[in-house]
Amino acid sequence: QALQLTLALIKPDAVAHPLILEAVHQQILSNKFLIVRMRELLWRKEDCQRFYREHEGRFFYQRLVEFMASGPIRAYILAHKDAIQLWRTLMGPTRVFRARHVAPDSIRGSFGLTDTRNTTHGSDSVVSASREIAAFFPDFSEQRWYEEEEPQLRC
Ligand code: DAT
Ligand code: MG
């Protein structure tokens, strides 16, 4: 079965806390994602604005952009046969109160602080995964990965 790629981010709130950073990383490993690429970076505000442009105009947009540029983040390209949905399920719902109630063991349910400072990001579709992977890993060629590496990884 073909593998799917997703972009996962660990946001500044979770990178700043060593135990939370480690717990989120362990979730990635124990769920048997393949870590295709990983980097840590400090994001410029303009990059955050572009990345979250679909939310421009929402009441939380400014807060979100400031937060995402407030400290180091960790970005991953993750591969799994159901990468996009699996990572989103592991993260749990966007909003922290809901996450704590409907998915208390999820990453956001366990570690989320507020609706904005909610530990992690995950792509929500194949199209957004491609766009988001390119934003963080401009040297990564998805096409070449599917041609040269993915066939060798299939189970
Ligand atoms: P998700 O990150 O689950 O894909 P989203 O794409 O709707 O959620 O929103 C992107 C981010 O914006 C989200 O992770 C945190 C912030 N955000 C969303 N809704 C919010 C709200 N109601 N209040 C504060 N921040 C919010
Ligand atoms: Mg989203």
- Dump pLDDT digits (tens) for 65-84: 999 999 999 999 999 999 99
pLDDT at res. 51: 97
Query: What is the rounded CA–CA span in Å between residue 90 and residue 107?
Result: 6
- Residue 95 per-residue DSSP state: S
HEC letters along 111-146: HCCCCCCCCEEECCCHHHHHHHHHHHCCCCCHHHHH
Ligand nearest to the Cα of 87, by number = 1
User: Quick one: pLDDT band at residue 1, thresholds 50, 70, 90?
Assistant: confident
pLDDT at res. 76: 99
Ligand 1 pocket residue status of 124, Cβ below 6 Å: yes
User: Quick one: pLDDT band at residue 155, thresholds 50, 70, 90?
Assistant: confident
Write down the pTM of the prediction. Answer: 0.97
- Residue 70 per-residue DSSP state: S
Ligand nearest to the Cα of 64, by number = 1
Q: Whose CA is nearest to atom 23 of ligand 1?
A: 115
CA 152–ligand 2 middle distance (angstroms): 31
CA 129–ligand 1 middle distance (angstroms): 17
Mean pLDDT value across the chain: 97
Please enumerate, as own/partner, the contacts of 60-66 that have beta carbons within 8 Å and a separation of 24 or more. 60/115, 60/116, 63/116, 64/116
ipTM over 0.85: yes
121 is catalytic: yes
Contact 94, 101 (CB under 8 A): no
Please determine, for residue 103, whether its predicted confidence score (pLDDT) is greater than 90.
Answer: yes
Ligand 1 pocket residue status of 121, Cβ below 6 Å: yes
CA 154–ligand 1 middle distance (angstroms): 33
Contact 61, 55 (CB under 8 A): yes
CA 122–ligand 2 middle distance (angstroms): 7
Residues 109-133 pLDDT 10s? 999 999 999 999 999 999 999 999 9
What order do you get walking across the sheet with 120-122 strand by strand?
Answer: 34-41, 73-80, 4-10, 120-122
pLDDT at res. 20: 98
**What residues contact 5, with CB distance under 8 A and at least 6 apart?**
36, 77, 78, 79, 83, 129, 130, 133, 142, 145
Ligand 1 pocket residue status of 64, Cβ below 6 Å: yes
